[in-house]
Amino acid sequence: MELYTGDINQLIDELGALPGIGHKSAERMAFHIINLPHDRVKRLSDTIIRAKENVKYCKECCTLTDAEYCPVCANARRNHRMIMVVENTRDLAAYEKTGKYEGVYHVLHGALSPMNGIGPADIKLKELLQRLQGEVDEVIIATNSSLEGETTAMYISKLIKPAGIRVTRIASGVPVGGDLENIDEVTLLRAFEGRTEL
């Protein structure tokens, strides 16, 4: 027997389709939204639509931004000759929270996974190689410690090394199979400071 009518069920289904949201959380969120004043719901829906329409890739590092360049790339005080390669924008945010990294980033938006049909053309590798045509002293590979992350790290290292650019990998401290976004700042900082040559 259906507990709710069509519109309520559809709202629960849509919210439940979001990552990390189970059925109970989706129900709780749906009823919270339904009980909000109309202007708050409109503001929420307008914000979602505006973000979808305006957020794009940063012209330099490929992170998500609503400006031409993200705040990190636009900051002239950052070391633009040191590039940390991460899998996604959440990983970039995790490193920024340490407050210790002074270089810039490159966001791949994924990792190589031949078994899942994800090859070099499916992530932002071409854009990284274009950036390396400029003056770059070091590329720090900070992909996750998963099989896909390690495969991506080795692939990038083999592409970059012939150019004579220093290539390092974040050190252990980040558990194998762990996602960077879920790791505390102290562990991330320790992994960054203990990075090694590839």
Residue 59 belongs to some domain of the structure:
no
What pLDDT, on the 0 to 100 scale, is given for residue 2?
Answer: 67
Residue 188 belongs to some domain of the structure:
yes
Determine the structural domain holding residue 162 and report its residue range: 74-197
20-47 tens-digit pLDDT: 999 999 999 999 999 999 999 999 999 9
Write down the pTM of the prediction: 0.78
In this structure, the answer to whether residues 98 and 12 fall within a common structural domain is no
Res 186 pLDDT > 80: no
Tell me which H or E stretch contains 106.
strand 103-107
β-bridge pairing 138-141 and 79-86: parallel
What pLDDT, on the 0 to 100 scale, is given for residue 174?
Answer: 60
What pLDDT, on the 0 to 100 scale, is given for residue 146?
Answer: 81
Residue 134 belongs to some domain of the structure:
yes
In this structure, the answer to whether residues 38 and 101 fall within a common structural domain is no
In this structure, the answer to whether residues 81 and 49 fall within a common structural domain is no
Residue 66 belongs to some domain of the structure:
no
Cα 166 from Cα 170, distance rounded (Å): 13
In this structure, the answer to whether residues 79 and 177 fall within a common structural domain is yes
How many Cα atoms occupy the beta-carbon half-sphere of 119 within 13 Å?
A: 2
Cα 46 from Cα 68, distance rounded (Å): 22
Residue 1 belongs to some domain of the structure:
no
78-114 tens-digit pLDDT: 999 999 999 999 999 999 998 899 999 999 999 999 8
Count of residues making up the chain = 198
137-151 tens-digit pLDDT: 999 999 987 889 889
Q: Rounded to the nearest 5°, which phi and psi values hold at 127? A: -65, -35
In sequence order, the β-bridge partners of residue 86 are 107
**Inter-residue contact 4 to 12 (CB < 8 Å):** yes
In this structure, the answer to whether residues 112 and 24 fall within a common structural domain is no
Residue 22 belongs to some domain of the structure:
yes
Domains held by the chain: number: 2
List of residues 6+ apart from 90 with CB closer than 8 A: 180, 181
